[in-house]
Amino acid sequence: MSAETELSTLYDAAKAAGETEVVIYTPYGNHQPLWDAFAAAYPAITPTVVVTTGAPLFARLEAERTTGAYAGDLLFSNLSTVTVLQRDGYLQPDEPSTVAGLPDRYREPGGHFQIPFLNLFTVVYNTRLVTEEDLPSTLDEVLADRWKGKITYGQVTGTGATDFNLAILDHNQALTQEQLERIHANAVPAESNAAALQYVAQGRALFDLWTPTQSAVPLIEDGAPLGIRLLEDSSGVWGPGLGLLEGAPHPNAARLLKAWLYTPEAQALFASETNSYGTLPGTPGPETLPDIGYYSFEDIPADRAAEILAAFRSKAGAIWGF
């Protein structure tokens, strides 16, 4: 079946079944332009975004499974979270024809999730409080004792975005045990990546480690005193997993939205509207960032993500106590 035929067939099926919405569980609150574009293309279906992650997400999904009152259709979250939920049986296989050209490293072999975009994670700093001469060039420089207590990051929990950034560095042998311990000792965790970014914008911290630039850029455009610093030894790009939830109450609408996100239209919107890189080959990247070939770290491949993340989770848990 061609991609165009699949999209049309799913839309007709959703309308016939009375599926007027599709519910997405995600920590990302900045993808509204994509949801608006989908709604314009398929006006009979309204995307409903529930911003949730971590313990609240896990509790919500467990409650839905226990009661049978399923509400969520799609999970769109970092791979640390997605692989745990896949392991625990919360995702069902779904591999739309639109992912046919997607590189294997962005596709879980069983079809439980794929990776639609990549985002840059690097250091964000307060431009009013950090001078050009003081900008770090390496991870060791930002972790120096002179900045102790003035660095923040999204809490390491075993399933968070910071965990995945650290796991990528560890996977590439670009992170030492000493550096991990120094992050724990010299930086002050925030309850989330969004909170860490606000701490820097407010001057409560000078540096935020591995903030998603898709979150920083809108604040910068609105006048927040934030700057992005690429550290060649610790900046990386990675993306979330997108999967169909077991028990999805709007299965046709969910499959339609999932398939649509891998069309050229949607892939281009990731760059223009969220400062991210689409994963389909040939997709244009963000105008403000380097070409995707700039980044040298090897991805954590989707087919080994669960194994690699579980191994790193044990290492990080010994330091952060989870």
Residue-wise pLDDT for 36-76, tens only, equals 999 999 999 999 999 998 899 999 999 999 999 999 999 99
Q: In the structure, what pLDDT confidence band is assigned to residue 139 with cuts at 50, 70 and 90? A: very high
| pLDDT over threshold 80, residue 21 | yes
Name residues whose C-beta falls within 8 Å of residue 89's C-beta, 6 or more positions apart in sequence.
246
> By the 8 A CB rule, do 278 and 267 touch?
yes
- CA Rg value for the chain: 20
First to last CA, the chain: 46
Crossing angle of helices 79-87/54-67, nearest 10°? 30
Beta bridge partners of 229: 123
Residue (of 257, 247, 245) closest to 96 by Cα position: 257
Name residues whose C-beta falls within 8 Å of residue 43's C-beta, 6 or more positions apart in sequence.
none
Beta bridge partners of 124: 208, 228
Q: What is the pTM of this model?
A: 0.85
Q: Bin 18: left if φ > 0, else alpha if -120 < ψ < 50, else beta.
A: left
CA dihedral 297, 78, 264, 2 (to 10 degrees): 110
Most confident of 25-29, 129-133, 305-309: 129-133
- The confidence score (pLDDT) of residue 232 equals 81
Is 67 buried (19+), middle (13-18) or exposed (0-12) by CB count in 10 A? exposed
Residue (of 219, 215, 194, 197) closest to 206 by Cα position: 197
Higher-confidence position of 70 and 120: 70
- The confidence score (pLDDT) of residue 214 equals 84
- Locate all alpha helices (DSSP H) within the chain, ordered by sequence: 3-16, 32-41, 54-67, 79-87, 139-142, 161-171, 177-186, 193-201, 213-221, 251-260, 264-274, 305-320
pLDDT-wise least confident of 45-49, 94-98, 169-173, 305-309: 305-309
